[in-house]
Amino acid sequence: MKAHKDIQGPTSVGGHAGAGPGVDLPRLGVDAPRERRALGWLVLVAIAAILWLARPFAVGLLLGAVMAFMLEPLYIRLVRRMRRPSAAAVTIVLLSGVAVVGVLGGFLTLFITRVAAFAQALSGQLGAGGAYNDRLTIVTRWLGDVGISTATIQSRLEAGAGEIASRSAAFAASLASGTFMGALGLLLALLTMYLVLRYWTRITAMLELISPLRRSYTRALLAEFHRVGRLTISGTLLTGLAQGMLAAIGYWVTGVPHALFFGVATAIASLIPAVGTMLVWVPVGIYLLMMGHTARAVMELVWGALVVIGLSDYVIRPRLVGDQAIPALLLFIALFGGVIVMGLAGLIIGPVVIQLAVAVLRIYARERRAEQHRA
């Protein structure tokens, strides 16, 4: 909280906290208890309306907040150097946006280029006189021996291609819609980053004021949210980086070309729910097997299963994301249950929710013990 000394709490006008300039709020009359209850219900309705409208962008808003928590030390240093909190917050937000767009755009461009070059090389190798033409002939003969006709496969591929072509317009519209929603989510995340970096003290003061809980409880929960959010996103990013590095080592040892590129692809794929890194190292292992490198293919698949997934997901990720005071079972429920229920966002939201739930239970247990001691 020392980073925001320049930020004052909610403005008070005429003795009413949070009132805007020139606003004269009415005082509660004789029926004050009933009016307070009615006002409390209106507050609940207002909060519900805000949450309902923000629900489609909940992931972006949460990511923006936890990214602000993670980058808060950098913000503190910039404020001390620049002496202008707003300029420091804008600088961090702009750099974050450029970094996200640059990394994703650069990787997608490189990925498309690599795939196109690989497809062209594979087509040449499988053609007449190509190095893999003999293997293709053997596979075709084997399929005929087991009763699978190559003509049937060709007709099904042609039918599938026709169906893809007929649905290309719908796919293009869906892709455009997804791109727009992704850009809008990124914009909201960056705006949330700025607000949290610049006004977190004011936000916490307002939440403490309107919360039905005791101020110390609200302050403790917000501090836990701040800590867990920063720990969760940094742990997720570091785990993905570790998986990419470990996978790149496996690719290099087994002789996979462009091992560094596939390592970066593995790190990015680690953020995809359910399948994750298997989207990269399993096809690589199958490719080595089809090329006749059986020993290297088995080594690659075993390395991916035991090291890239086993070591990273079950040893590294829980230690980076979780709290040592929280049972490992709850951490696994938070990570994998969050992914199953909420998809990719569950990697971030799951641990945050479980840590906040544990914090609430600890506060309640502490209060119960205090009541028993008083009794």
- Backbone phi and psi for residue 17, each to the nearest 5 degrees, phi listed first: -65, 135
In this structure, the answer to whether residues 96 and 192 fall within a common structural domain is yes
pLDDT above 50 (res 363): yes
In this structure, the answer to whether residues 286 and 354 fall within a common structural domain is yes
pLDDT above 70 (res 72): yes
In a domain, 111, yes or no: yes
Per the CB < 8 A criterion, the answer to whether 189 and 63 are in contact is yes
In a domain, 135, yes or no: yes
Q: Which residues are CB-neighbours of 157 under 8 A, at least 6 positions away?
A: none
Q: At 199, which helix (H) or strand (E)? A: helix 168-210
How distant, in Å, are the alpha carbons of 110, 227, 271 from that of 264?
A: 11, 28, 12
Q: Determine if residue 12 is left, alpha or beta; phi over 0 gives left, psi from -120 to 50 gives alpha, anything else beta.
A: beta
Q: Tens of pLDDT along 347-358?
A: 677 777 887 788
In this structure, the answer to whether residues 267 and 140 fall within a common structural domain is no
Per the CB < 8 A criterion, the answer to whether 5 and 12 are in contact is no
The closest alpha carbon to 84, from 21, 64, 92, belongs to 92
In this structure, the answer to whether residues 193 and 222 fall within a common structural domain is no
Domain count, the chain: 2
Looking at the DSSP assignment, which residues form a beta bridge with residue 16? 13
In this structure, the answer to whether residues 179 and 134 fall within a common structural domain is yes
pLDDT above 50 (res 335): yes
In a domain, 332, yes or no: yes
Residue 213 is classified by DSSP as S
3-state secondary structure (DSSP) of residue 276:
coil
In this structure, the answer to whether residues 157 and 96 fall within a common structural domain is yes
Q: Tens of pLDDT along 150-180?
A: 566 556 655 555 555 555 556 556 555 666 7
CA 326, 329, 332, 333: dihedral to nearest 10 degrees?
Answer: -100
Q: How many helices (H) and strands (E) does the chain have?
A: 15, 2
Q: Which residues are CB-neighbours of 164 under 8 A, at least 6 positions away?
A: 171
Per the CB < 8 A criterion, the answer to whether 336 and 313 are in contact is no
pLDDT above 50 (res 11): no
Q: Tens of pLDDT along 211-240?
A: 877 888 888 888 878 887 777 777 777 888
In this structure, the answer to whether residues 191 and 218 fall within a common structural domain is no
In a domain, 33, yes or no: no
In this structure, the answer to whether residues 223 and 325 fall within a common structural domain is yes
Q: Which of 153, 171, 198 lies at the terminal end of a domain, its last residue?
A: 198
Q: Which of 168, 198, 228 lies at the terminal end of a domain, its last residue?
A: 198
In this structure, the answer to whether residues 224 and 164 fall within a common structural domain is no
pLDDT for the residue numbered 329 = 73
64 versus 133: the higher-pLDDT residue is 64
How distant, in Å, are the alpha carbons of 115, 169, 263, 267 from that of 244?
A: 19, 35, 5, 4
The closest alpha carbon to 270, from 228, 238, 302, 223, belongs to 238
In percent, how much of the chain has pLDDT > 70? Answer: 67
Boundaries of domain holding 365 = 213-375
Per the CB < 8 A criterion, the answer to whether 206 and 10 are in contact is yes
In this structure, the answer to whether residues 232 and 329 fall within a common structural domain is yes
In a domain, 190, yes or no: yes
pLDDT above 70 (res 256): yes
Can you tell me the distance from the alpha carbon of 261 to that of 126, in angstroms, rounded to the nearest whole number? Answer: 24
Can you tell me the distance from the alpha carbon of 320 to that of 231, in angstroms, rounded to the nearest whole number? Answer: 7
In a domain, 40, yes or no: no
In this structure, the answer to whether residues 151 and 248 fall within a common structural domain is no
Q: Which of 142, 167, 198 lies at the terminal end of a domain, its last residue?
A: 198
334 versus 135: the higher-pLDDT residue is 334
Can you tell me the distance from the alpha carbon of 366 to that of 375, in angstroms, rounded to the nearest whole number? Answer: 14
H helix intervals, the chain: 32-54, 58-70, 72-82, 85-126, 133-145, 150-166, 168-210, 215-253, 259-269, 278-290, 294-303, 317-321, 328-332, 338-342, 346-374
In this structure, the answer to whether residues 125 and 185 fall within a common structural domain is yes
Can you tell me the distance from the alpha carbon of 177 to that of 212, in angstroms, rounded to the nearest whole number? Answer: 40
In a domain, 47, yes or no: no
pLDDT for the residue numbered 323 = 53
148 token code pair: 């699978």
- Please give the model's pTM, rounded to 2 decimal places: 0.62
pLDDT for the residue numbered 180 = 72
Can you tell me the distance from the alpha carbon of 351 to that of 337, in angstroms, rounded to the nearest whole number? Answer: 10
pLDDT for the residue numbered 34 = 79
pLDDT above 70 (res 250): yes
Per the CB < 8 A criterion, the answer to whether 100 and 186 are in contact is yes
Per the CB < 8 A criterion, the answer to whether 359 and 221 are in contact is yes
Can you tell me the distance from the alpha carbon of 165 to that of 240, in angstroms, rounded to the nearest whole number? Answer: 36
In a domain, 294, yes or no: yes
Reported confidence tier of residue 47, pLDDT bands at 50, 70, 90: confident
Q: Which residues are CB-neighbours of 129 under 8 A, at least 6 positions away?
A: none
